[in-house]
Amino acid sequence: MEKRKIGVGFLGLGTVGSGVLEILQMNREQVTRRAGAEIEVRKILVRDPHKKRAVNVNNDLYTSDADEVLDHPEIDVVVEVMGGVDEAKKYVKKALQNKKYVITANKDLMATSGAELMLLAGEYERNIYYEASVGGGIPLIRPLKHSLSGNRISRIIGIINGTTNYILSKMSLENMDFETALAEAQEKGFAEQDPSNDLEGKDAGYKLCILAGLAFNSRVNYEDLYVDGINGIDKRDIAYARELGFTLKLLAIGEEIDGALAPRVHPALVPSTHPLAGVLFENNALYVTGNAVGEVMFFGPGAGALPTGSSIVADLLDVAHEMRCQEEGSVMELHFQDKTIISMDKLHSAFFLRLQAKDQPGVFASLATTFGNENVSLDMIIQKSSTEGQAEIVLVTHEVEEKNFNRAVDKIRDFSYVRRINSIFRVIKT
Ligand code: NAP
Ligand code: HSE
């Protein structure tokens, strides 16, 4: 009997697209067996059909006309690996309207237009798979959707941007300054030539929208997030944090508190013994707390051709299963609820603060009193160095309400003995 065939069309064949094709060639037999069908690539959209590619493909498959993929009668699945939002969205919509399944690696698209596209997928009884959009090769979407679905998840903490994790790892382990670490990340191809979305926390923010939506069964928009990146981080803070037993990371945090959500991206100190502190360089991780499973962490390569391709091939196998079982229309994301967002000043956190002050009697006492008056309890306070009558002071608070801490800092900033507040970081102690 002739083997069933699944027709696949690609939108894009760059780093990720080439990785997918390489895996389909490398693991052909296993993929065919698991899909119960031959996966056949039938058309590939690129900008330049004559460009040399990382994989060998029959030249007839290339096109620069998207409709040749989207209207192809023998394409069942469209793999969107072209990036960008506007054109990608237009093509994904047309693919769904033409009753094709969609697989995408595009976090910008899913974070900004996921709800609208999922609605369309439901309407046309198809589905969108997006395992590759967060965490590259690490399975994150599927575990949140399925493996952990028996839990109520109370918190997710992610290191989901490889560029910033590479920079912070280099600064921490090799005492490198920010600019040198960024230049090295760019040289090695981890950071893009314009890394502003990574450094400003936007890339992690888009990914958090996707993960928090699944973890908390809710629509989470980018505008709901508090986002702060790592631009201008000083290696002194990283070194002092290490001395105090902490490691600085850019964290994407989603938390559900009494039915409301607190999604945020910001640099934070974690205890150096915490599993997230050991996530180094370009690796990503997601640390999940569920009321049945307890705490689990997913770890691995957050980008790259083969790791990201691995997630897309897994999505292809899921589509093959869905086609075989004729389960069309089971779009879980259509059941997301809207939840209230908690403002940052209502959250509780411990803080690390570094400031420069005149080296004179009464400074520690004044700081302690000011924090005490705002109900902020200090965990440690130390003087790091004193030169030319100036002292550098580092302190860490216990967990406090953010607005109390901010009120105390506003007062301290105005004291005549304070030269400068250099840095403030949140501290995640558990
Ligand atoms: P890439 O290397 O820049 O490849 C993009 C591909 O899309 C190229 O083949 C390009 O054609 C084609 N393309 C782009 N715009 C097009 C247009 N308007 N018309 C026709 N073809 C177009 O990008 P990538 O790194 O593979 O990333 C693809 C997606 O995966 C992005 O959404 C990205 O965020 C996501 N992602 C990437 C990684 C990673 O490790 N790279 C990891 C996770 C997720 P030409 O080759 O002819 O220029
Ligand atoms: N710019 C992203 C990162 C690539 O640094 O993690 C993967 O989305």
Q: Do residues 61 and 162 both lie within one domain?
A: no
Q: Do residues 83 and 172 both lie within one domain?
A: no
Q: Do residues 65 and 84 both lie within one domain?
A: yes
Atom of ligand 1 nearest to the CA of 82: 7
Give the pair of three-digit tokens for residue 55.
């994989």
> Does any ligand 2 atom lie closer than 6 A to the CB of residue 162?
yes
Q: Which domain holds residue 84?
A: 5-137+305-335
Question: Considering the domain boundaries, does residue 340 fall inside one?
Answer: no
Q: Do residues 120 and 76 both lie within one domain?
A: yes
Could you tell me the pLDDT band of residue 335, with boundaries at 50, 70 and 90? confident
Question: Considering the domain boundaries, does residue 388 fall inside one?
Answer: yes
Q: Do residues 258 and 226 both lie within one domain?
A: yes
Counted domains in the chain: 3
Q: Do residues 178 and 266 both lie within one domain?
A: yes
Question: Considering the domain boundaries, does residue 417 fall inside one?
Answer: yes
Could you tell me the pLDDT band of residue 3, with boundaries at 50, 70 and 90? confident
- For atom 19 of ligand 1, the residue with the nearest CA is 47
- For atom 4 of ligand 2, the residue with the nearest CA is 303
Could you tell me the pLDDT band of residue 327, with boundaries at 50, 70 and 90? low
Question: For residue range 74-85, what is the model confidence (pLDDT) as tens digits?
Answer: 999 999 999 999
Question: Considering the domain boundaries, does residue 183 fall inside one?
Answer: yes
Q: Do residues 367 and 261 both lie within one domain?
A: no
- Top pLDDT among 192 and 428 is at 428
Question: For residue range 260-308, what is the model confidence (pLDDT) as tens digits?
Answer: 999 999 999 999 999 999 999 999 999 999 999 999 999 999 999 999 9
pTM confidence score: 0.95
Give the pair of three-digit tokens for residue 264.
């945020």
Cβ atoms of residues 161 and 262 within 8 Å: no
> Does any ligand 2 atom lie closer than 6 A to the CB of residue 161?
yes
Question: For residue range 161-179, what is the model confidence (pLDDT) as tens digits?
Answer: 999 999 999 999 999 999 9
Question: For residue range 125-146, what is the model confidence (pLDDT) as tens digits?
Answer: 999 999 999 999 999 999 999 9
Q: Do residues 164 and 290 both lie within one domain?
A: yes
Q: Do residues 122 and 208 both lie within one domain?
A: no
Question: Percent of the chain at pLDDT above 70?
Answer: 99
Atom of ligand 2 nearest to the CA of 163: 5
Q: Do residues 152 and 295 both lie within one domain?
A: yes
- Top pLDDT among 232 and 94 is at 94
pLDDT for 328 equals 58
Among the residue ranges 288-292, 328-332, 381-385, the one predicted with the least confidence is 328-332
- For atom 8 of ligand 2, the residue with the nearest CA is 303
Q: How far is the CA of 188 from the centre of ligand 2 (A)?
A: 13
Give the pair of three-digit tokens for residue 31.
């993929």
For position 84, which CATH number holds?
3.40.50.720
Question: Considering the domain boundaries, does residue 402 fall inside one?
Answer: yes
Whether 191 has a pLDDT exceeding 80, the answer reads: no
Any idea which ligand is nearest the CA of 306? 1
> Does any ligand 2 atom lie closer than 6 A to the CB of residue 229?
no
> Does any ligand 1 atom lie closer than 6 A to the CB of residue 303?
yes
Helix, strand, or coil here: 201?
coil
Q: Do residues 327 and 414 both lie within one domain?
A: no
> Does any ligand 1 atom lie closer than 6 A to the CB of residue 15?
yes
Instruction: Kindly list the catalytic residues.
Output: 207
Mean pLDDT across the stretch 16-31? 97
Q: What mean pLDDT is reported for the chain? A: 95
**Whole-number Å distance between alpha carbons of 332 and 334:** 5
Helical H segments across 128-284, by residue range: 141-142, 162-174, 178-187, 196-199, 202-216, 235-243
Question: For residue range 338-379, what is the model confidence (pLDDT) as tens digits?
Answer: 999 999 999 999 999 999 999 999 999 999 999 999 999 999
**Whole-number Å distance between alpha carbons of 27 and 154:** 38
Any idea which ligand is nearest the CA of 48? 1
For position 383, which CATH number holds?
3.30.70.260
Cβ atoms of residues 413 and 421 within 8 Å: yes
Question: What is the rounded end-to-end Cα distance, in angstroms, of the chain?
Answer: 58
